Amino acid sequence: MKKMFLLCVYLCLCFCGLTGVFGDEMKSVSVMEGESVTLHTDITDIQRDDQILWKFGLQKSLIARINGANRDISINADVLNGRFRDRLQVNNQTGDLIITNITTQHTGLYQVIINSVKEISYRFNVIVYACLPVPVISRNVSQCSNCSLLCSVINVSDVRDVSMSWYKGNSLLSSISVSDLNIRLSLPLEVEYQDTNTYRCVLNNPITNQTQHLNITHLCQTCSALTIILICCAAVGCLMIVASVLIFCICRKQKNTEQQGKLTLLLIM
């Protein structure tokens, strides 16, 4: 038993010696586009022997370096075609990395390596969510037997992990989810005419949402009412056409009369 214990201790020491890294835990961070996010080193005060490296992506591109001896901070703003230009700040006391006005291009894996007596590493999985559009509610006018509605968003890029839902009051009626929203996302709903309930269409991701409320009176008119409106519009259109023709004819007649008067005057002279 003693030999087994010593063997385990030896293997642990060898593993630590080979890797030289303690920590290396993964932290998940979610943030909205346009906001600022701070990635913490868990250091209260940088020591003279400390050297802190911040890296980004699977290629572990170096984006910032802090030298504890003189608190010198070096930011590599031109890495990855300037993706981080004018967006990175580093706390000279703690080594925390601050990303300002963040965009979806900054989604990815961040790693901080702290070289001191031992090497310590932390990783951050940063997910940046794009701002959600307000969904649009429209009516399927091809149906007259009931009020058929459609809630939709169209051609929205860089939107991930979204779901669209119909609610009747506080009760969920239906829902649909997609991982990437680069095409039209829509969800139908049918309601009865003269329905007095409140309906809303909600588009959301894990940290925010956009809501569009249904105006039943505006969208869910009966077919007879729609027919009357169409007839009225057609009648007004016909009247405008007739009036335009009459005005054209009167103007043309008046012009011909003036021309004939001028011709008569010339003959007399």
| Confidence at residue 22, expressed as pLDDT on a 0 to 100 scale | 47
Give the neighbor-by-neighbor strand order of the sheet with 61-67: 21-32, 119-129, 108-115, 51-56, 61-67, 72-75
Q: Where are the beta strands (DSSP E) in the chain?
A: 21-32, 37-39, 51-56, 61-67, 72-75, 88-90, 97-99, 108-115, 119-129, 136-139, 147-153, 160-168, 171-180, 185-191, 199-204, 209-213
* Neighbour count for residue 51 (Cβ, 10 Å): 16
pLDDT less than 50: residues of the chain: 1-22, 228, 263, 265-267
Pairing of strands 119-129, 21-32: parallel
User: What does the alpha-carbon distance between residue 103 and residue 108 come to, in Å, rounded to a whole number?
Assistant: 11
Strand, helix or coil for residue 53: strand
